[in-house]
Amino acid sequence: MKLLTSIIGAGVAAAVVAGGAFAVPALASPHAVAHTMTFISVTKASIGFGETSAGVQQTDVNEAGKVVGFDETYGVAVSASAVDNDLTLDTNGGLLYGTYTLNLVTGKISDGKVSGGTGAYKHATGTLAATAISAHKYSIKITYRT
């Protein structure tokens, strides 16, 4: 249960409301421009798939509380203190994929990476960072290039 609670707490953690809205990247150009998304991810549902894995659904909102997307996270315990997570963010422009590791002791996210996507996020690469606001709410910042 501790694993499920920790994954729920981190949820996306995956994925910070600073500017409020998602930026959809411009069409591909010879020089990829960095894009940044910031939002608050709020856990809405979760399910344990066994002793070492769980899934979490979160709703993503901007600073004003407007829904800007949804994300799904699948986590697997890799040790007594760490969970590896796969993230799919569904937002304006398509799906964005990422991975990160959650430290169950500190609640910190590490090794957050953007690993591709669909639509505007096809071939995206970049970083994912998160900061806990509460047990079920995280501030997310994703920086990527396509």
Across the range 60-71, mean pLDDT stands at: 96
Residue 28 has pLDDT above 90, yes or no: no
Stretch 127-135: mean pLDDT: 90
Q: In DSSP terms, which residues pair with 67 in a beta bridge?
A: 61
- Which of 106 and 43 is assigned the larger pLDDT? 43
Pick the CATH number of 2-145 from 3.30.70, 3.40.50, 2.40.480, 3.60.90: 2.40.480
Question: Picking from 19-28, 91-100, 132-141, which range would have the lowest pLDDT averaged per residue?
Answer: 19-28
Grouping H, G, I as helix, E, B as strand and the rest as coil, residue 11 is: coil
Dihedral Cα 14, 10, 16, 63, nearest 10 deg: 120
Compute the distance between CA of residue 84 and CA of residue 79 in angstroms, rounded to an integer.
Answer: 9
Short-list 44, 33, 46, 35, CA closest to 69: 44
Find the mean pLDDT for residues 9-28.
Answer: 41
pLDDT (0 to 100) of residue 31: 66
- Residue 1: the pLDDT is 43
8 A C-beta contact, residue 136 and residue 11: yes
Average pLDDT over residues 121-129: 97
Model confidence band, residue 15 (pLDDT cutoffs 50, 70, 90): very low
Compute the distance between CA of residue 103 and CA of residue 53 in angstroms, rounded to an integer.
Answer: 15
Structure tokens at 25: 């990247």
User: Which positions ≥6 away from 64 have C-beta within 8 Å?
Assistant: 20
Side-chain half-sphere of 19: how many Cα atoms within 13 Å?
A: 9
CB–CB of 97/72 below 8 Å? no
